[in-house]
């Protein structure tokens, strides 16, 4: 709107928008090109050093090794059956404590049946639940063993 009321504001009268000289524009383009070239050279050097490091790690620490074969042959399912103490903190509900009972399921390998009973300290609310799980041991709550 200001251009309509004041038509000379952008014109040759030395208003707000003055044209830049060609030398400045050229110099800025050259600086930008030099910065891009330097960045490209730096990235290439980093890529080369990363490739060297990767090649060294592949040779020094192979995926299949005699140590790995020996360790993986002795791997077995963890024995979790028993009573476990449950102590923790749930966001928005506060401290929680209770008991977790885990029993093996003979019909499913790596399957467990767990029963939980825990109490929220802040409200005193009790929760209990029994559930069967197959191959989901990683989702069980972190617990401490009861002596």
Grouped pLDDT means (10 residues each) for the chain, 147 residues: 64 54 79 90 90 92 87 82 88 89 79 82 84 53 46
pLDDT at 28: 86
Per-position DSSP letters for 15-71, written without gaps between them: -S-PPPPHHHHHHHHHHHHHHHHHHHHHHHHHHHHHHHHHHHHHHHS-SS-HHHHHH
Each domain of the chain, given as residue ranges in start order, spans: 1-75, 82-145
pLDDT at 8: 63
- 0.85 surpassed by pTM: no
pLDDT at 65: 86
pLDDT at 53: 93
């Amino acid at each position: 709107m200001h251009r309509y009321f004041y038509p000379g504001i952008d014109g040759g009268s030395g208003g707000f928008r003055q044209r830049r000289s060609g030398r400045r524009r050229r110099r800025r383009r050259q600086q930008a090109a030099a910065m891009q070239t330097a960045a490209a050279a730096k990235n290439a050097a980093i890529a080369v050093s990363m490739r060297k490091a990767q090649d060294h790690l592949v040779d020094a620490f192979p995926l299949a090794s005699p140590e790995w074969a020996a360790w993986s042959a002795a791997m077995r399912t963890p024995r979790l059956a028993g009573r476990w103490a449950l102590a923790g903190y749930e966001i928005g509900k506060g401290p929680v404590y209770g008991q977790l009972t885990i029993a093996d399921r003979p019909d499913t390998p790596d399957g467990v049946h767990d029963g939980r009973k825990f109490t929220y300290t802040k409200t005193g609310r009790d929760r209990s639940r029994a559930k069967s799980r197959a191959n989901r041991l990683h989702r069980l709550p972190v617990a401490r063993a009861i002596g």
